[in-house]
Structure formats: C-alpha cells, structure tokens
Amino acid sequence: MTNKLYKLFFTLIAVIAFFNCNNNTKKEDSTTLKESFKNDFLIGTALSNLQINQTDSQLASLLKKEFNAITPENDMKWEQIHPQKDTFYFDVADKYVELGEKYNMHIVGHTLVWHSQLAPWMQNVKDSITLANNIENHINTIVKRYKGRIETWDVVNEALNEDGSFRTSNFHEVMGDSFIAHAFKLAAAADPDAKLVYNDYNLWKPEKRAGVVKLVKNLQAQGIKIDGVGMQAHWSLEGPSIKDIENSIIAYSNLGVKVSFTELDVTVLPNPWDLDGAAVEQSYEQFEGDPKMNPYPVKLTDSGQTQLAKRYEDIFNLFLKHKDKIDRVTFWGVNDGQTWLNNWPINGRTNHPLLFDRNFEPKKAYNSVLALKK
C-alpha cells in the first residue's frame, strides 16, 4: 500500500471515529430525564442553600444534565427572605434565580404565604388591616423584584386540613379565607405573566381534594387568577394508590388549571404508626435509634431497589397517561444525601427516596423511569 493510500485509509478511520463519537454523545445526551420527557412535562428538582451556592461541581453537572426546572427548598420562605418587618434578605434568592437563568431553567418561587417557617415578627399580628398590609408588602417586594424571571409562584402553601376545611393559622384566624384571595390578587398584579399555584400535600385524598376544588372555584368565581394546583408528592412504596392520584389529576384539570407534582419523593422506610402527610411539625422522638425504623443505614438492598423502581415506574406511567394535564414534575431533592426524609419524622435515619444515590449515581428507579420513553 502506497503512502497516499495509507494516509487516505487512516483519514477515513479518523472521520468514522469522529462521527461515531458525536452520535454516541447525542445519544447519551438524549438519555436524560429532561430530554426524555421534554415533550411531556418539565422535570424539576429542589435546591438547598449549599446547592444554590454551587459548592459541589458534581452536583452542578448532574443538575445541568438532568433537570430543566428548579425550586428553592427553604431560601424564599418568609423567615429566610423577610426575617424582619423592614428587612429583606435577597442574597441567596438572587443567586438561585441567576443559577436558573444560567442553565436556562424554569424557575419556581416557593413560597409566598405559608403558616410554617414564618418570620417571628409575623406570627402574632392580630389586626386584619395590618396583616393584609404586611402580606401586600411581602408579595409586592418579592414578586416585583423577580418579575419576568421567576416563571411560577407557589402563592399559598398548605392552607387546608385533611378533611378539606381551612387550617388553623394566624392568617386564617385574623383574615378568614380572604387571605388566599388577597395573596393571589397581589401576585397576579405584581407579575401578570407568572403562573400562580396553590400547593399542598395529600391532595390525592377525596376530602382534601374536595376542599381544593372548592378553593379554586371560589377564586375563579371572583375573577382571581389561578393557573395550577401543586400536588406535593411525598409518597411511600405502598401509597397512595394510583387510582386516588389519578382521580385528583382529573378533578383539578376539570377546573381548567394545570397540575404540577411539586415535591416528589418516595420513602422506603417503615411508618408503623400510620404516619400520614408531610406536616413539618410532626416528630416521633420515641423511635430514634430503633433499628426497625432504619433498616437501610448504609445502602438500599437489591429488593428495596426493585420495589422503588416499580413504584416510580407506576407513578410515571400515570403521569404520561395524563401528560396533557401536567406541566411539571419536581423531585424534592437532587439525590438521597440531600433529602429531608433522612431526618423526618425521625432524626438520624437513612432514607433513599430519590432517583440518584448519595454518590450522584442513578439508581434502578432512574432506569425504570427512562425505560418508559424508549
């Protein structure tokens, strides 16, 4: 073989290798959560303070690769962002929004009005006019600051009891249920283009579902903008049933609003006291240190991985069935090391509720979800 033929041969090999590499890269890039479901709904995750500050390059890489929507875990809640009447703390919130813009993500603001994690100065306001004015100042200041940048707001969070009645809170005691209409009106005026959501847990329950339907219809009857219902999805391997979740998706969609799954995780740990819900104030100190309550202190067993994978497969099958009604699915955490369920409702446990383990490696559940799109 002549030198020219040798050169031509090796040039062809190099060209083939180049195109194979590019094709493989494209294939790998498309095999991610956000790419697999890009025509169905957004795939989001919640970010902690440390993650917003981008101190972990491994996490930043996974975030950019797998997700196209973000929610702040705590840093936009009242006690963090508005700790004193005349003091707003925007440092972390600004970084959070800048991070979302950097990666071209759908940015969620969480949450404007919530009875929990409320600044102490707000907890004992007993005059309705003062309380309404404080809410107005809070919402106007925050929403207008991020107008056109934060695309969805969880306007009111967890205002209902399990039976669908209004939760006892200082907001409700002082203003009645008008505080909800007040908050949504203010948010809509502060940023008319933002999507406005009512967010709560256990919205698969028929009684609580009825309460949400009534709440949404009441706002709509007053001509007040509401774009969606956020179903927190703090679920377990056993429940809620797919049918109960489906019934709620349909009921909320029939109101003319979109459904979001805003805080998805699946606990793999036992709850023998029939724990139900996600109220942060619940605690069960008597179970701390009980090995029966912490069966996977190091890692999830193979059988546990299989159970979790099947549960996520069933959940996402349902989501895909109703993708026309759903605009976002947000996991409450990037990986198992971050999850709030490690310490709730029992301190010191090791939970494994997400699709990525503590080393940022995809679990069997991740593969079961992606397989639905292949």
Q: What is the mean pLDDT of the chain?
A: 91
Q: Is the pLDDT of residue 161 over 90?
A: yes
**pTM for this predicted structure:** 0.89
Q: Is 263 a catalytic residue?
A: yes
Q: How far apart are CA 243 and CA 354, in angstroms?
A: 22
pLDDT recorded at residue 2: 52
280: confidence class by pLDDT, cuts 50, 70, 90: low
Tokens of 39: 């025509």
254: confidence class by pLDDT, cuts 50, 70, 90: very high
pLDDT recorded at residue 301: 95
Pick the catalytic residue from 66, 158, 162, 361.
Answer: 158
> For the segment 287-342, what is each residue's pLDDT rounded down to a tens digit?
787 888 899 998 999 999 999 999 999 999 999 999 999 999 999 999 999 999 99
Pick the catalytic residue from 66, 73, 151, 263.
Answer: 263
Q: Residue 72 carries which side chain, given as an amino acid letter?
A: P
22: confidence class by pLDDT, cuts 50, 70, 90: very low
CATH code for the domain defined by 35-371: 3.20.20.80
pLDDT recorded at residue 272: 54
- Among the residue ranges 138-152, 210-224, 243-257, 273-287, the one predicted with the least confidence is 273-287
pLDDT recorded at residue 283: 61
pLDDT recorded at residue 372: 97
Q: What is the mean pLDDT of residues 84-108?
A: 97
85: confidence class by pLDDT, cuts 50, 70, 90: very high
Q: What is the mean pLDDT of residues 17-35?
A: 58
User: In this predicted model, which residue has the larger pLDDT, 27 or 52?
Assistant: 52
Q: What is the mean pLDDT of residues 264-292?
A: 74
- Strand 42-47 and strand 326-331: the pairing is parallel
Q: Is 281 a catalytic residue?
A: no
pLDDT recorded at residue 19: 44
54: confidence class by pLDDT, cuts 50, 70, 90: confident
Task: Show the DSSP H helices in the chain as ranges.
Answer: 3-30, 33-36, 49-52, 57-66, 78-81, 91-102, 128-145, 170-175, 178-190, 206-221, 242-253, 302-321, 364-371
27: confidence class by pLDDT, cuts 50, 70, 90: very low
Tokens of 2: 């002549």
User: In this predicted model, which residue has the larger pLDDT, 242 or 4?
Assistant: 242
Buried (b) or exposed (e) across 124-134, using 16+ Cβ within 10 A?
ebeeeeebbeb
